[in-house]
Chain A
Amino acid sequence: EAGVTQFPSHSVIEKGQTVTLRCDPISGHDNLYWYRRVMGKEIKFLLHFVKESKQDESGMPNNRFLAERTGGTYSTLKVQPAELEDSGVYFCASSPLGDRGFHYGYTFGSGTRLTVV
Chain B
Amino acid sequence: AQKITQTQPGMFVQEKEAVTLDCTYDTSDPSYGLFWYKQPSSGEMIFLIYQGSYDQQNATEGRYSLNFQKARKSANLVISASQLGDSAMYFCAMREGAGGTYKYIFGTGTRLKVLA
A residues apposed to B, CB below 8 Å: 3, 9, 31, 33, 35, 40-45, 48, 50, 55-56, 59, 89, 91, 93, 95, 101-111
Query: Which A-B residue pairs are the 9 nearest by beta carbons?
Result: A105-B47, A108-B45, A110-B43, A43-B106, A56-B101, A110-B44, A45-B103, A42-B106, A42-B108
A104-B52 in contact given A48-B102, A56-B100 (Cβ < 8 Å):
no
The answer to whether the Cβ of B64 comes within 8 Å of any Cβ in the partner chain is no
Closest residue of chain A to B45 (Cβ to Cβ) is A108
Interchain nearest-CB distance for B109 vs A (Å): 8
Interface contacts (Cβ under 8 Å), in number, total 68
| Cα distance A55–B100 in the bound complex, in angstroms | 7
Interface range for B: 20 to 34
Query: Which listed residue, A42, A55, A108, touches B4 by the CB 8 Å rule?
Result: A42
B residues apposed to A, CB below 8 Å: 4, 33, 35, 37, 42-47, 50, 52, 91, 93, 95, 97, 100-109
Q: Are A103 and B43 in contact (CB under 8 A)?
A: no
| Cα distance A79–B66 in the bound complex, in angstroms | 38
